[in-house]
Chains A and B, each alone.
Chain A
Amino acid sequence: MKEIQRVSPVVFKSTPVKTKTRDNWEVVMEYSEEGDGPFLVDLSHRPRFDLQDSNLAAQKPFGIEIPETPGICVLEKGVLANRMNGTQVSLYNLDSDDTAVMPDESGYTDVTESTMCVALIGKNVFSICEKLTALDFMDPQRKAPFLFQGPFSHVPCQIVTLSKEGDISGLVLTCSRGYGRDMIHSILHAGEEFKLTPAGENRFTNWIKEL
């Protein structure tokens, strides 16, 4: 039987130097000429789920306590849980060593294939974001990690700011898969003046370990 092939909606023009096949995804670990940052990393292959339940307080997806307030996130055991509203939480597995399987319970939806996911990390990431959205990532009242549900380059997105600390700033952004190509185009265009370059998954893995 032929193996399925899973294709990321994100395509960079840079040349991959190191790739890995994981769970039928072709994952680029490193690109040539990645530079000094900031970096744009494709994470569309990382498993992502939505969980909906009228009593989320009773749920513990992947053993994680779900935050009570919408907009608050927790990053534990490599899984990012983002409270969206009274009944929904989105879950991103950001641990590259682990391929999370969707829990076999009602209420879960696998959104890995239907959404794109990228990380924007390194210096000046919020200067790039300022060119694409009116959302205030530097709001002192918000402590990382926190979730914004709002327009980014006019596209409804979920944006999780993981760090606001200078050179190790970074966020993870997801939106519908169909916007992938244009979203990448607009982010790279906005980041040109800050020397934003595509980077492989290794760059993200090393960055998240520093948090």
Chain B
Amino acid sequence: MALTITCPICGKRNGYEFKFGGEEKGPRPEEKDLTPEAWCDYVHMNKCVAGVQQEWWFHKDGCGSWFPIYRDTTTNLEQEDQKATNQEGKNDEQV
């Protein structure tokens, strides 16, 4: 696996030191008027884009911090900060 991840505390490290924490889905929805369906979608539904997505990682073998990165899922390489494919219309389903 060629994946390396840049931890904000420890710097660039081997991807094996980290645990995947899921796609970045934006802020937790407001509980007022939240339907079970909308909550279920927020928790379980993913965009699974083929391209750059913003996602959470946990440095389990290192400093123990949680942080978001951008990763191209087609090449499995970390990307510089940029607009991720899964951020476009992120809140469409909650409207």
Chain A interface residues (CB < 8 Å from chain B): 70-71, 84-85, 134, 148-151, 154, 156
A84 CA to B13 CA in the complex, in Å?
A: 16
Contacts of B17 in A (CB 8 A): 150-151
Contact A149/B63 with A70-B9, A71-B9, A85-B9 known, Cβ cut-off 8 Å = yes
Chain B interface residues (CB < 8 Å from chain A): 9-11, 13-14, 16-17, 59-65
Select from chain B the residue with minimum beta-carbon distance to A151: B61
A134 CA to B14 CA in the complex, in Å?
A: 8
Shortest CB distance B11–A (Å)? 8
**Pairwise interchain contact B62-A150, C-beta atoms closer than 8 A:** yes
Contacts of B16 in A (CB 8 A): 151
Main secondary structure, interface of A, reads: loop
Most interface-central of B10, B13, B16 (chain A CB within 10 A) = B10
Contacts of A154 in B (CB 8 A): 61
Contacts of B11 in A (CB 8 A): 71
**Pairwise interchain contact B14-A85, C-beta atoms closer than 8 A:** no
> Can you list 22 A-B pairs with a CB-CB distance of less than 8 A?
A70-B9, A70-B10, A70-B63, A71-B9, A71-B10, A71-B11, A84-B63, A85-B65, A134-B14, A148-B10, A149-B9, A149-B10, A149-B62, A150-B10, A150-B17, A150-B61, A151-B17, A151-B61, A154-B61, A156-B60, A156-B61, A156-B62
Shortest CB distance B93–A (Å)? 34
Shortest CB distance A152–B (Å)? 9
A164 CA to B62 CA in the complex, in Å?
A: 22
A151 CA to B65 CA in the complex, in Å?
A: 15
Select from chain B the residue with minimum beta-carbon distance to A86: B9
Select from chain B the residue with minimum beta-carbon distance to A157: B61
A70 CA to B9 CA in the complex, in Å?
A: 6
Q: 11 extra interchain contacts, Cβ-Cβ under 8 A, other than A149-B63, A150-B62? A: A71-B9, A71-B10, A71-B11, A84-B9, A84-B63, A134-B14, A149-B62, A150-B61, A151-B17, A154-B61, A156-B61
Most interface-central of B13, B61, B63 (chain A CB within 10 A) = B63
Contacts of B60 in A (CB 8 A): 156
Select from chain B the residue with minimum beta-carbon distance to A69: B9
Contacts of B61 in A (CB 8 A): 150-151, 154, 156
